[in-house]
Structure 1
């Protein structure tokens, strides 16, 4: 369909006419929701319609997973991509990932830095690619998956992404709450700190897309200065580059440690891939994909490396007070509080700001969790986006309160598992885009009007089966405390080496191409 034809139909819908004779009611509903979602939702809820209308008129976003028509795209500069991801990752939540290099894997600082930069670049490339699909399609990330894995396959990815974003949110609110509670120990219960962080994250996400971008455009400024403070104060306390030398493994065990920690680092970058297109789907389709790619990549790679390396560096401080602050409970918030302690009251003020930086990190999790709930299917999409956002907030806040004493275990296990499914998800979407949807390829592009019509989307068999092979690759290659796969065991020493995300991507890559080729040949879509 040409852009002109699409625009004409949008005008017909706004005026109440189909423009081409009778149309099916569900198709009309979808198209109406694209053009004027606030009117569609108000009409859908009858007596509650006036209340919803007032809510939308006050600035709350009505649009959910509906495609953004070209004539409703905003001309915001793609540089917002850089600033947004910089704010999202220049935060307290990124520090504990670097801490794991020593606390779990006993790597020296040079090895930790090399692992963070290399595996981080790989994850940044993957996420930056997905980000490019937002302006090209005008769709949210989970809806884009329907063009490779079908409607049902897209639902499976949505479930995985809901769990992913809620998992990220749990770690964020726990760490933010820990830090607030450590400012004046014994005065603010950890549970209250978690609830405060959760509520602050909810507000901009409830309002929606524009407020998310406004907040993220400026949030990085304060936290960047605070990170510089931490580097300076940590250096004054004494970074000891040889602190981990006696503890670091050698030979095959060292390789296993690097691979396992690398999987966690990859997950900290690629974990944003399932939401990357959500935050630029309102950019014009004429926006340069290379500009979006480069700005997204450096918006991720620079701040994440900067802060994760800081976390690794703080673990080299051998002063007994700093070691005791981290303690057996592996409390990163208390360690950061100890770093700022020489500044007294001002240090506590800085710590409050640092704890609140978690909000910038958790906003995309909360906002995109609500969108992924809508992407489960049309019945879910009919419920307003802000309802699902509020539900996500309730779930992760309650889970954060319940799991508040197990932060490090949640973080290390969660990020490892996260890297598995995002790896095969990225590979499948990339093969569909570059091979089957390329100009001159078997399908010749995306018919974007089909995004919510199951009969016009792929059956999804190829995508689902390739995803299952990806799971199989992760299972045989993973190395977790609770399970070590056969290949993971052979690659490492006593605790194995985590090859989960590499094998998940490889298994999916080699199976998706022939299966999708066969699917197109037999079905034609």
Structure 2
């Protein structure tokens, strides 16, 4: 038995928790390294030595106020710059021409508009980290209960593994393209995956250290690509003869917009993971703005670069542009520099490590958030198993990168849309200071009997899925509304918009009823 956490007056004023003097048993008692290691019985001394070597002990346990620090308070900007100013962001812009035949001006406008919407969602979720001291998937339990949180954790795990697969494939492709025929693609994928594993295995502090500096080299590399591409000759009207018109053009913009939104909002399910150690009194506005611009600036900058490279008019680029092979396209852009260009390609290939680190780290947390038995296994074990999983998947799917990226990002945007809406409505309607629940009972994060039953959150999520189904437009299925929104023979992907709308409409009345009937 352990007493409930003693809440500061500042927390109470913020409405983050209710007063209570109850005694509650927690299965994840103790937050020190020694206490966590003691869970593992005879393996405890081995695990404790691993922790003593610098590997992070904490998994999904809440971070108490006295263990927080302002040390990484500006990393909300620098980290997201490093994570997104990378090779893996370029192919998203390439898809604007490769799949949707959009001209560069239309691609830029779509990236800005849908990108801003996606960045807003991640920035909001990020503010919940310091307020609660919890990881993102644990926060979902306060709107959707233990069962709903488990469902979100499964979806998040698949999301992070999907991101990781695309990252290691593209990094491997780029390494293999430096000297064609000398390095097998499979070997390139394994090398990139191994480099991604080390910081994630060590944990939170090492992740922040790496991401604090990784952007510095890559911003220079991206400027090199802009300069060399411009020298080869950008043609903003290159796609004009191929671009659709009327409703078909609208369908292309909406479908590409869904991919752009997914490239931003895909970080929402992990956004609080990287600032849950900031003090509770950290300015939410500061966290919001640093996260928003840390995402918006680098992603737009690099996605637009990808779209621009597809407009190069030099005949020497015709074959690689037609093939849609991003690695080969970049090799062609850097070819005037010969050996120097190959060195830059190496830097680009390994830049995906910065992108893959949060995927791998948060995948381990997502497994722990599945439930108590999973949380009892050390975080670093799940990180290692996630690494093995996405490396094998990357090797198996290495020849289908563009198809994987296009379909994955579109589907990703569907579930993140209703997840964000449900968490936001819970926070602003039901958990506000003077709302029905008055705040978060922060020490109840792993006590199912004190969390919401979750019926409202799960049902609202089901309605979100229904919205995605009727509005989606994929190669393998087009919903009735998605079909009607497009032109003849074309579907318009309205999946994430309708997913968010359906969930937003249904969650408040369902949650209100759940609170009336259960009191939680």
In the superposition, the TM-score normalised over structure 1's length comes to: 0.95
Shift of 1:42: 2.3
Matched, 1:399 2:393: yes
**What is the CA distance between 1:319 and its match in structure 2?**
2.1
Number of the residue aligned with 1:223: 218
The answer as to 2:275 corresponding to 1:280 is yes
In 2: Cα distance, 1:289 partner to 1:422 partner? 21
How far did 1:321 drift?
Answer: 2.2
- Kindly indicate whether the alpha-carbon contact (under 8 Å) linking 1:484 and 1:495 is maintained by their aligned counterparts in 2: no
Select the residue among 292, 297, 300 that pairs with 1:302: 297
Cα distance in 2 between the residues matched to 1:468 and 1:180: 42
Establish whether residue 5 from structure 1 lines up as the match of residue 6 from structure 2: yes
Of 71, 75, 95, 1:100 maps to: 95
**C-alpha deviations, 1:243-278, integer Å up to 9, x for none?**
000000000000000000000000000000000000
1:357: which partner in 2? 351
For the aligned residues, what is the CA RMSD?
1.5
Tell me how far 1:200 sits from its aligned partner.
Answer: 0.2
2:434 to 429, 437, 440: 440
**2:329 paired with 1:335:** yes
CA displacement, residues 202-238 of structure 1 (integer Å, 9 cap, x when unaligned) = 0000000000000000000000000000000000000
Q: How many correspondences in the alignment?
A: 506
Q: Say whether residues 1:378 and 2:378 are aligned partners.
A: no
Partner residue in 1 for 2:167: 172
> Per-residue deviation at 1:52?
1.2
Residues 124 and 147 (structure 1 numbering): CA distance in 2 closer, same or farther, change over 3 Å?
same
Provide the rounded CA distance (Å) in 1 between the counterparts of 2:293 and 2:84: 11
Shift of 1:46: 2.4
Q: CA deviation at 1:6?
A: 5.2
For the structure 1 residues 472 and 386, does the alpha-carbon distance in structure 2 shift closer, same or farther, using more than 3 Å as the test? Answer: same
Q: Which residue of 2 aligns with 1:213?
A: 208
Match of 1:470 in 2: 464
- Give the deviation of 1:505 after TM superposition: 0.1
Gap regions ≥5 residues in structure 2: 9-20
CA distance in 2, matches of 1:189, 1:436: 54
Return the offset for 1:76: 1.7
Deviation per residue, 1:30-89 (Å, 9 max, x gap): 231xx31x2233222222222211111110000000000000011225211100000000
Shift of 1:323: 2.3
Q: What is the alpha-carbon distance in structure 1 between the residues aligned to residue 421 and residue 34 of structure 2?
A: 38
Change (3 A) 1:524 1:245: same
State TM-score, norm by structure 2. Answer: 0.95
Runs of 4+ in 1 over 3 A off after TM superposition: none
Separation in 2 of the partners of 1:250 and 1:283?
49
| Residue 459 to residue 4, structure 1, CA distance change in 2 (3 Å) | closer
What secondary structure, in the 3-state scheme, does the structure 1 residue paired with 2:44 have?
helix
- 1:324, distance to aligned residue in structure 2 (A): 1.5
CA deviations 1:92-112 (Å, max 9, x no partner) are 000000000000000000000
Structure 1 unaligned runs (5+)? Answer: 8-19
Give the conservation status (yes or no) of the 8 Å contact 1:476–1:488: yes
Give the equivalent residue in structure 1 for 2:62.
Answer: 67
d(CA) in 2 for partners of 1:92 and 1:484? 31
Q: Do the aligned partners of 2:81 and 2:294 also contact (CA within 8 Å) in 1?
A: yes
Quote the Cα distance in structure 2 between the aligned partners of 1:509 and 1:225: 42
CA distance in 2, matches of 1:140, 1:380: 15
For the 8 Å contact 2:72–2:208, the answer to whether it is kept is no
TM-superposed deviation, 1:125: 0.3
> Which residue does the alignment assign to 1:30?
28
Which whole-Å deviations, capped at 9, do the CAs of 1:387-438 have from their partners, x for residues lacking one? 0000000000000000000000000000000000000000000000000000
